[in-house]
Chains A and B, each alone.
Chain A
Amino acid sequence: MTESFSQAWSSTLQALLQRGSGAGADLVEVFLEHTDHLGLLAEQERITSVNPTFARGAGIRVFLNGWDGFVSTNDLSVDGLTRALDQALAMLNLEANGLAGSSSFEGLGALKDYALEKTSWLQQCPTMRDASSRLLEGTSQLERLGQHLQVRRGSYARDWQEVLVAASDGTFARDIRLHQSTGLSVLAADGDHRSSVGRRYGSTDRPDDLFTWNVESSAAEVCESAGTMLRADYVEAGQMPVVLANRFGGVIFHEACGHLLETTQIERGTTPFAEQVGELIAHPAVTAIDEGLSSGAFGSLSMDDEGMEPQRTVLIKEGVLQRFISDRAGELRTGHQRTGSGRRQSHAFAAASRMRNTYIDAGPHNPNDLIASVERGLYCKSMGGGSVGPTGQFNFSVEEGYLIENGNLTRPVKGATLIGDAKDVMPRISMCADDLDLAAGYCGSVSGSIFVTVGQPHIKVDSITVGGR
C-alpha cells in the first residue's frame, strides 16, 4: 500500500475511542492493517503462478461486562470506521449519541512505534524476478539430486503487514511484520510405490532471507527423504514407545499441550489443566516455554496484535504447570495476566490467546541415548500436521518414520498417525535430549491462521497409540 499508518491517525482514532467510551463501553480497541502479499509457485522448469495480493481493513472490538462485540470492515474512511464502531456498540445494546458522555478514556498515549527501523523492509525483499530465479534454482537442484521424481515444486510466500493498534486504555502502537517462507516438495513415483515429501523454511523480520537460503542442502534433504520413503512399508499399528526428532517434532507439544494452555481454552471449558497451576502435569523431564522473542523465528513479534510486547512465558517447569498464555479477553475473563499473546490472522479476526515460539527445552541426554533405550518402537524423523479436539484428544501424522529394534534404527515406515490424550501423554515424555531446535509452521485456530514456531530436542514418549495398517 502506498499510504502508511502514522501519528496522523491519532485524531481519528481518539474520536472513535471517545465515541465508544462515551456510549458506555468498558473498553474500545481499533486494529488497522495494510498487507502486501506475494506468492509464487515453480513447477519443474516453469513459474506457474504469481499471486500479488493487497489488502487493508480494520477490526473494531468493544468490551462490556466481560463480553465483546467485534466488527471488521475493508472501509478505512472515517465514515466506514464510525459505521463499524456503531455496529459493534449496537451489538452490546450501546448507542453512540455523538456527545462525549461520561467516560474513563483519557486519550491515547504516545505512539509506540516498533516499525521505525522496518520501513524499508518491503523494498529490500526479493522482487518477483529474484524470487522466481531462486525457486527455479530449487526445482533444478531437485532434478539433479532426486530419483523417480514425477513432480518438483518450489514455493515462496512473502507476507508484509503494517498494523496500528489503538485502545481506550491508552494503547497506541504501530508495527511492521515481515514473514517469508520457502518450500520445496516432490512426488516420487516408481510403479505402485509413491512418496510425497515437502519441507518449508520460514523466517521473520529478515528481508534478505531468500538470498541466503541454501538451495542445495534443502533440495538434498527433500530428495533423501523422498528416496527413503518411496519403498517404505506401512507401519504396524499398536501401542509403543516413540522417539520424536527435534525441530518439527515439537508439533506434539503444540497440539498435545500448548493449545490447552491458552486462556481461550479456559473460557471454553475445554482444557483439563484449568485448575492445575502449581501442579505436576508432565514428567519432571519436561520444561516448556512459549515466547515471542527468538531472533528470526517464525512466531516472533515486536508487539502482539493488541499492542503489547511479548514475554518469555515459562509454561511448564520440570513438569509443574506455571501459567497460561493470555490475551486481553483472556485476562478479563479468566484473571490470567496478559503475556503479549493476543494474535490474529488479520483485521477480520478478533485477537485471541495464541502460541508464538513454543518449545520443549533441552535436556541432558544425547539423542542416541533415547533411541538406545527403546527395545521396539517408532522413530519419527519428520512430522506432518496435527490437531487437538475439545476434549484434549490430539493427533498428528508422521511423514518419515523408522522402526526402532533393539535400540537401533532399522526399516523406514510410513502411514503412521499418533493419537492420544494430553493428560495421559505429558507424563510419558520421560527423556529430553540436548539438541533443541526450532521449525516454522502455521497454526489455525479461533483467530485464524498465524505464523508460529514449534520446537524441541529429541524426546522419548514411553507409550503412545500409533495408528496404521
Chain B
Amino acid sequence: MSNNTLDAGTLRDRVQTLATSAGIRQWDLGAACSDDCSVQVDRGEAKQLKAAQRSSIKVRVWNSDGLVGITSTTDLTDSGLARALEGAQQASGFGNPDDVPQFSPMATVPLPQLDRPLMPRQGILPLLKDLRAAEAELLSRHPAIQTVPYNGLAESLSTNLYLNSDGAIRTMERTQASLYLYARAEESGRKPRSSGAIRMALGSSDLDIQGCIDEAVERTVSHLAYQPIETGSYRVCFTPEAFLSLIGAFSSMFSARAVLDGVSLSTRESLGQTLAVPFLSLEDNGLHPDHISASPFDGEGTPTQRLSLIESGCLRNFLHSEATARAFGVKPTGHAGLGAKVSVGPDWFVVGTTPGQTSGQELDHTRETDTFVLIEDLSALHAGVKATQGSFSLPFDGWLVKGGERISVEAATVAGDIRSLLTSILHLEPTQEVTHRGVAPHVWVEGLSITGEA
C-alpha cells in the first residue's frame, strides 16, 4: 500500500515560485490526493479488485484587471503546475466582471475541531475476505436471494488542501470506508426484486457489516410478496433516507448561488417567509459527529459550520460562498466549492421537530392502522426532479400498509410539488435516524399522487 500524500508548505512554495515567474500576484488553489482500494465479489469469487492513486489540483489566478480564471490538472509536476497557471491566466481573460470571487475573509480564522481519528487501513486482501464472508452470509439467509449483483467494500486515505497567496493554509487528512450490499431475489413465477443497504465508517474495521447484511436481507425479502397498487392520492410516510434524498434533490432552494442565478424556487425576499409547516426544522451541519465525510473547511477555506435553514417552518438562511455572502451582506457559511463561478451546496442535512412545536399527531409507521404508503427509497432523482419548477415524479420502492399489514408495491411512481409537500407535512416521528445522507425522522405527508399498474 502506498502513501500518496501532499505537503502543503512545499506545494505553496512551488506554486508561489511558478506564479511569480509568470507575473501572477494573486492565486489560490485546492488540491486533493488519495489512495483508494475496493473489492467486489460474485458468488464467492473475487470479481474485481481495484486500487487508485489520484492527485489533482484546481488553481485560480487573478489577472491585472482583477478578473479570475481557473484550471484543473492531475499533473502535479512543476511543468504541470506551470501549465495550469498558464491555462488559468488565459481563462482569466474571460472572467466575469459582474461576479468576481475574492479570498474568503474566513480563510485564516481558526478551524473547528473534528474528532475524526485516522484509522489503519487493512489492505485489499483482508477486504476481499470480509466481503466474501458478508456475501456468503447474505446468500445463505433466504433461498430466494441468489445473487448480490451490486456489492463493494472500499477504504481510502485522502488529503485535501486549500492555499492562497495571502498565506492561508488549510489541510485535512482523513480515512474512510464504505460497504454496500444490493441483493437480487426471485421466486418462481414472480418478478425479481432487489434492494440493499449501505454502511460507512472511518475505517474498514469499524464498518457495521452485520447490520448491513441484516438490513439488505430484510429489505430484499420484504419486497418478494409484491402487489400492484391502485392509482390515487395517498397519505404517505417517507423513511428518513427517502425524505433526505428528496430534500437533497431540491437543495437549490437553500443555495444563494441558485437564488442569484434565478434558478432557485427561493428569492432574496424568501428569507423569513414560511416554507414549511411550523413544526419542521432543517439545519445543515457538516460537523455532525455521524457525518463520516466531514471536512473542517470548504473549497474556499471557510470553516464548516452548523447553519439553520428552516426554523419553525420559516426560511432562516441561505448557503453561501464568499461571493454570494458579499452579495447578500452576510458572512460565508462554509458551503463553497472552488471555481471561477463558485458552486454552493449542502453538507449534511439534519431534519427534526422545532423545539416547543408539535404536529398534534401521534402517527407511528410501525403501529398505524389506517391505510398509507410507506416510501422506502426513491429512484431516478436525476431525471424525475424538476428543481427549478418544484415538481417531482419518481419511481419508488415501498409498501402499501393496510391495517398494519405491509404489502410491497410493484412498479409505481410518486408525484408532487416540493412546496406543497413541505406545507402538507402531517407529522415528524420523534426518533431521528442517522443515514448515509444525513439525519431525519420518518416524515408523514398528506395527499400525494401515486401511480401504479393496477
Chain A residues within 8 Å of B, Cβ to Cβ: 1-2, 40-41, 43, 46-57, 66-75, 83-84, 87-88, 90-93, 128-129, 132, 150-151, 187, 194-196, 234, 237-239, 267-270, 272, 348, 350, 384-387, 389-393, 395-397, 414-417, 419-421, 465-469
Q: Please state if B54 and A74 are interface contacts (CB–CB under 8 Å).
A: yes
Q: Nearest CB to that of A187 among chain B residues?
A: B388
Q: Please state if B90 and A187 are interface contacts (CB–CB under 8 Å).
A: no
Q: Please state if B94 and A417 are interface contacts (CB–CB under 8 Å).
A: no
Minimum C-beta distance from A230 to chain B (A):
10
Residues in B whose Cβ lies below 8 Å from that of A234: 391, 415
Residues in B whose Cβ lies below 8 Å from that of A41: 341
Interface digits, B71-112 against A, CB 8 Å rule (1 contact, 0 not)? 111111000100110011011011110110000000000000
Q: Please state if B395 and A46 are interface contacts (CB–CB under 8 Å).
A: no
Residues in A whose Cβ lies below 8 Å from that of B88: 52
Minimum C-beta distance from A276 to chain B (A):
15
Given A46-B98, A52-B91, A237-B231, check contact A465 B453 (CB 8 Å). Answer: yes
Distance of A87 Cα from B231 Cα, bound (Å): 54
Interface digits, B331-356 against A, CB 8 Å rule (1 contact, 0 not)? 00000000111000000000000000
Q: Please state if A196 and B388 are interface contacts (CB–CB under 8 Å).
A: yes
Residues in A whose Cβ lies below 8 Å from that of B386: 196, 415
Chain B residues within 8 Å of A, Cβ to Cβ: 2, 42, 45-56, 69-76, 80, 83-84, 87-88, 90-91, 93-96, 98-99, 124-125, 146-147, 149-150, 182, 184, 191-194, 231, 261-263, 339-341, 379-380, 382-384, 386, 388-391, 393-395, 411-416, 449, 451-453
Distance of A211 Cα from B93 Cα, bound (Å): 21
Q: Please state if A467 and B412 are interface contacts (CB–CB under 8 Å).
A: yes
Q: Please state if A419 and B395 are interface contacts (CB–CB under 8 Å).
A: yes
Q: Please state if B94 and A51 are interface contacts (CB–CB under 8 Å).
A: no
Q: Please state if A52 and B379 are interface contacts (CB–CB under 8 Å).
A: no
Minimum C-beta distance from B222 to chain A (A):
15
Q: Is the interface of A mostly helix, strand, loop or mixed?
A: strand
Distance of A177 Cα from B182 Cα, bound (Å): 35
Distance of A238 Cα from B231 Cα, bound (Å): 7
Minimum C-beta distance from B358 to chain A (A):
30
Q: Nearest CB to that of B151 among chain A residues?
A: A268
Q: Please state if B49 and A348 are interface contacts (CB–CB under 8 Å).
A: no
Q: Please state if A391 and B75 are interface contacts (CB–CB under 8 Å).
A: no
Q: Please state if B149 and A386 are interface contacts (CB–CB under 8 Å).
A: no
Minimum C-beta distance from B232 to chain A (A):
9
- Across the interface, A88 reaches (CB within 8 A) one of B51, B54, B99, B150, namely B51
Q: Please state if B91 and A50 are interface contacts (CB–CB under 8 Å).
A: yes
Distance of A222 Cα from B99 Cα, bound (Å): 27
- What are 26 A-B contacts with C-beta separation under 8 Å? A48-B340, A50-B95, A54-B75, A67-B45, A69-B49, A70-B50, A71-B51, A74-B53, A90-B124, A91-B49, A91-B124, A92-B46, A92-B49, A238-B231, A269-B146, A269-B149, A272-B192, A384-B383, A387-B380, A389-B379, A395-B379, A396-B380, A397-B383, A397-B393, A419-B412, A466-B451
Q: Please state if A54 and B87 are interface contacts (CB–CB under 8 Å).
A: yes
Q: Nearest CB to that of A54 among chain B residues?
A: B73
Minimum C-beta distance from A12 to chain B (A):
18
Minimum C-beta distance from B62 to chain A (A):
14
Residues in A whose Cβ lies below 8 Å from that of B415: 234, 237, 415, 417, 467-469
Distance of A72 Cα from B50 Cα, bound (Å): 8
Q: Please state if A151 and B263 are interface contacts (CB–CB under 8 Å).
A: yes
Residues in B whose Cβ lies below 8 Å from that of A55: 56, 72-75
Given A72-B53, A238-B451, check contact A395 B263 (CB 8 Å). Answer: no
Distance of A297 Cα from B262 Cα, bound (Å): 34
Q: Please state if B52 and A73 are interface contacts (CB–CB under 8 Å).
A: yes
Q: Please state if A54 and B389 are interface contacts (CB–CB under 8 Å).
A: no
- Across the interface, A48 reaches (CB within 8 A) one of B83, B96, B125, B449, namely B96
- Across the interface, A386 reaches (CB within 8 A) one of B80, B83, B380, namely B380
Distance of A421 Cα from B70 Cα, bound (Å): 45
The 3 A-B residue pairs with the shortest CB-CB distance in the complex, in nearest-first order: A467-B413, A385-B383, A237-B451
Given A194-B389, A416-B393, A421-B411, check contact A187 B192 (CB 8 Å). Answer: no
Q: Please state if A465 and B451 are interface contacts (CB–CB under 8 Å).
A: yes
Given A187-B263, A392-B192, check contact A51 B70 (CB 8 Å). Answer: yes
Residues in B whose Cβ lies below 8 Å from that of A269: 146-147, 149, 184
Residues in A whose Cβ lies below 8 Å from that of B394: 417, 467
Q: Please state if B53 and A53 are interface contacts (CB–CB under 8 Å).
A: no
Q: Please state if A196 and B389 are interface contacts (CB–CB under 8 Å).
A: yes
Q: Nearest CB to that of B192 among chain A residues?
A: A391
Residues in B whose Cβ lies below 8 Å from that of A88: 49, 51
- Across the interface, B149 reaches (CB within 8 A) one of A1, A87, A348, A390, namely A390
Q: Please state if B46 and A67 are interface contacts (CB–CB under 8 Å).
A: yes
Distance of A414 Cα from B386 Cα, bound (Å): 11
Minimum C-beta distance from A79 to chain B (A):
11
Distance of A59 Cα from B439 Cα, bound (Å): 38
Q: Please state if A391 and B184 are interface contacts (CB–CB under 8 Å).
A: yes
Distance of A453 Cα from B400 Cα, bound (Å): 39
Besides A270-B149, A385-B383, A417-B413, 12 other CB < 8 A contacts? A40-B94, A48-B340, A56-B74, A74-B53, A151-B262, A187-B263, A187-B388, A196-B386, A237-B451, A348-B54, A390-B150, A397-B380
Distance of A40 Cα from B184 Cα, bound (Å): 42
Q: Nearest CB to that of A251 among chain B residues?
A: B383
Q: Please state if A73 and B49 are interface contacts (CB–CB under 8 Å).
A: no
Distance of A465 Cα from B231 Cα, bound (Å): 10
Q: Please state if A268 and B42 are interface contacts (CB–CB under 8 Å).
A: yes
Given A151-B263, A269-B149, A415-B415, check contact A48 B49 (CB 8 Å). Answer: no
Given A67-B46, A237-B449, A397-B384, check contact A415 B184 (CB 8 Å). Answer: no
Distance of A81 Cα from B262 Cα, bound (Å): 47
Q: Please state if A54 and B184 are interface contacts (CB–CB under 8 Å).
A: no
Residues in B whose Cβ lies below 8 Å from that of A397: 380, 383-384, 393
Distance of A91 Cα from B76 Cα, bound (Å): 27
Residues in B whose Cβ lies below 8 Å from that of A268: 42, 147, 149-150
Distance of A387 Cα from B378 Cα, bound (Å): 12
Distance of A70 Cα from B48 Cα, bound (Å): 7
Residues in A whose Cβ lies below 8 Å from that of B147: 268-270
Q: Please state if A420 and B411 are interface contacts (CB–CB under 8 Å).
A: yes
Q: Please state if A70 and B393 are interface contacts (CB–CB under 8 Å).
A: no
Residues in B whose Cβ lies below 8 Å from that of A391: 184, 191-194
